[in-house]
């Protein structure tokens, strides 16, 4: 499984369980498309408009709680920019999870 498939799996599961109109207070889950190839002009435009390297793959908004979720498969390793982002998020008092499977994601939720 690659990270895109893992991200889609987690997004779909979380959205269907916590973000629909059937929930008393629907949560919000979204991704920040930081990866992929961009031309030099696109990269400059995105950087000028606030794109931040290292931002987590998913961000979850719950009542009075914000969670940043970085996804890696098997032995995937965070980049230096991702580690820096994690440190900044934690220093501000927010949760940051490094997740490698849907099951691990569910375990974090149950804590």
Task: State the CATH class of domain 3-109.
Answer: alpha beta
Least confident range of 4-8, 25-29, 46-50: 46-50
Estimate to the nearest angstrom the gap between the alpha carbon of 43 and the chain centroid.
Answer: 20
Residue 96 has pLDDT above 90, yes or no: yes
Least confident range of 41-50, 71-80, 102-111: 41-50
- pTM assigned to the model: 0.91
Residue 74 has pLDDT above 90, yes or no: no
Residue 36 has pLDDT above 90, yes or no: no
Rounded CA gap, 43 and 109, in Å? 34
Domain boundaries, given as residue ranges, for the chain? 3-109
Closest CA to 95 of 63, 59, 71, 51: 59
């Amino acid at each position: 499984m690659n990270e895109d498939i893992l991200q889609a799996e987690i997004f779909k599961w979380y959205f269907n369980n916590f973000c629909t109109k059937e929930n008393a207070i629907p949560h919000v889950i979204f991704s920040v498309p930081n990866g992929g190839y961009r031309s030099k002009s696109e990269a400059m435009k995105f950087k000028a408009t606030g794109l931040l390297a290292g931002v987590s793959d998913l961000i979850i908004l719950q009542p009075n709680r914000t969670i940043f979720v970085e996804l890696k498969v098997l032995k995937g390793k965070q980049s230096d920019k991702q580690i820096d982002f994690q440190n900044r998020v934690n220093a501000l008092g927010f949760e940051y999870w490094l997740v490698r499977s849907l099951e691990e994601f569910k375990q974090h939720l149950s804590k």
